Chains A and B, each alone.
Chain A
Amino acid sequence: MSEDAVRLIPADEGSWRLEAYLRRGGYEAARKAVMSMAPADVITEVRKAGLRGRGGAGFPAGLKWSFVPQGGAGPKYLCVNADEGEPGTFKDRAILVRNPHQLIEGMTIAAFGVGIRKAFIYVRGEYGRIAGRLREAIAEAEDEGFLGGGIFGSGFDLEVIVHLGAGAYICGEETALLESIEGRRGQPRLKPPFPAVVGLFRAPTAINNVETLANVPLIIGRGADWFLGRGLPKDGGTRLFGVSGAVRRPGLYELPMGTQLRTIIEIHAGGPPEGVAIKAVIPGGLSAPALRPDELDVTMDFDALARAGSMLGSAGIIVIGDKIPILDVLKVMARFYAHESCGQCTPCRIGTSWIHKTVMRIGEGQGRASDLDHILRLADGMKGRTLCPMGDAAALPVQALVTKFRDELEKAVAR
């Protein structure tokens, strides 16, 4: 078995083409599912594999699919989240560019399991050119009967539509994504009802991240036990760890779930460049609370990072070197969330913009002694008081920076 066959990001030449994917054993898992498995068994196998969502929250994929009502005459939809807006994250791009057929195959298997005949792939607007390659892959798959009407000569059909976003981070939130596909502003919906019951065009809808779905052919093709063996006992598979910032070799590293954070940074990414020491590490995209250098001996999996007071999120690791003032990091963070708040809930709309103004004022040398506590209070006022998880996503990383690097920030305030 060639290693490329089980990689999410294969290294073979022209890896994105159908013929290359077929050489790696592509579409065998979908054939197996559609031709010889009962839909319910597909869902059971994915549940056994402990596949947790790679989009951020880590919700078990098979469990989520089981919430979609079985049977029924009305439409049901699958939405693929390729919005990839979380700063520090560039993994879904790599799958779309190097391995689009594995995503398509995963979609086919998921749709078969849940009884879905129409799927949307929501691609962020900035990936317009990448969406072009995805469309080519879809056309190739349709030509070969792997997608479209009567897949593998069976009675199962799946139509796939690529929908381009237009620049809005919040559209990565699953219900905002639905609004955006329906042609509206990307403003999150109140839950419940959950999309599995009332989703796209008011129909039951499964929503999954690109990386989540790209893992599905491996599970069906090789079995849940094999998949668990590639990761942790309850959290199977590998993870695409993106490393950027102060390291010698920024890039994407596909490693077992539960690999040590320090190992990824020091060994795989080569550690910080000559003369630079690590000041802080953001382990899972900008929304994941930062860790101090003495907190890096943590395994990179959902539960371990939650215990460490942070989150695995999108597994985008940002390494901050000691030459960068923490205030600069805080400025970027505060600006980002103030800019991206959709404005529906007062705590998020006001909180993010007030934090931003306060941070900018400190940056201009006009800081007040009470500013840091003020920021912490504003962040506290957002947590758990908003319609969507963005309120927390904006509050927690700000609080972590202010709490963990308080001494340095006090000096900036007093300047």
Chain B
Amino acid sequence: MSYAPSAAAVKKIDGIIAPYPEKSAALLPVLRVVQDELGCVPPEAETWVAAKLGIQPIRIREVLSFYTMFRRRPAGKTIIQVCRNLSCTLAGAEDIIGFLKERLHVGPDGTTPDGRITLVTVECLGHCDHSPCLQIDGIDHGPVTRDGVAALLEELRAHE
């Protein structure tokens, strides 16, 4: 299967590449555009990106496997990232993670059976003064309690 991003994405990608002295340097931001569009970076997209930036496909694989924010397989529509580093642990992060696992019926790094939500645990989100904290689709929340998390899940459901 071959892949080509939408015209809008291609335009965005061209804009991203332009200021870099070497095209290949735009790899991380370009992969992000692809992932935003497809939900992950599948093998056929690797081929497209490699051709676009004039690099070997293996370079794409190397980068995808190194950075935790890149996914090679689809995840849920919504991604919940819960911090479990020290400040958050001191403030009860493990309890929040346990509560989320129970509510969503998934393990960490798991997706709900309906494909809606993926739960991942992460290291420090740089929001330690609001610990325990989490990020839902890029938006920070904290400090959160069990009740607060339940309300956030309700909100997600309401926005379906």
A residues lining the B interface (CB < 8 Å) = 75, 84-90, 92-93, 118, 124-129, 159, 161, 163-169, 180-186, 201, 242-246, 250-252, 282, 286, 316, 318, 320-321, 324, 328-329, 332-333, 336, 339-340
Contact = CB atoms under 8 A, between A and B. Distances in A.
B89 A328 contact: yes
A14 B42 CA distance: 41
B127 A186 contact: no
A167 B21 CA distance: 24
Contacts of A164: 28-29, 32
A87 B123 contact: yes
Contacts of B28: 163-166, 180, 183
Given A161-B19, A169-B123, A183 B26 contact: yes
Given A168-B66, A183-B63, A318 B126 contact: no
B65 to A, nearest CB: 8
A81 B86 CA distance: 23
B124 A246 contact: no
Contact of B129 (A161, A243, A340): A243
Nearest to B69: A167
B114 interface: no
Interface residues of B, number: 43
B115 to A, nearest CB: 22
A319 to B, nearest CB: 8
Nearest to B24: A183
Interface in B50-94: 53, 55, 59, 62-63, 66-70, 81, 84-87, 89-91
Contacts of B26: 183
A166 B85 contact: no
B129 A252 contact: yes
22 contacts: A85-B126, A87-B123, A88-B124, A90-B126, A90-B129, A126-B126, A127-B126, A163-B28, A166-B32, A166-B67, A166-B68, A167-B122, A168-B66, A168-B67, A168-B68, A185-B66, A201-B25, A242-B129, A244-B128, A250-B131, A286-B85, A318-B86
B155 to A, nearest CB: 18
Contact of B59 (A168, A184, A186, A244): A184
A92 B55 CA distance: 34
B22 interface: yes
A165 B59 CA distance: 16
Nearest to A251: B129
Nearest to B31: A166
Given A88-B128, A125-B67, A250-B130, 12 more contacts: A85-B124, A87-B85, A90-B127, A126-B135, A164-B32, A166-B28, A166-B31, A166-B69, A185-B62, A316-B128, A329-B86, A332-B85
A256 B8 CA distance: 49
B56 to A, nearest CB: 12
B139 A129 contact: yes
B20 A161 contact: yes
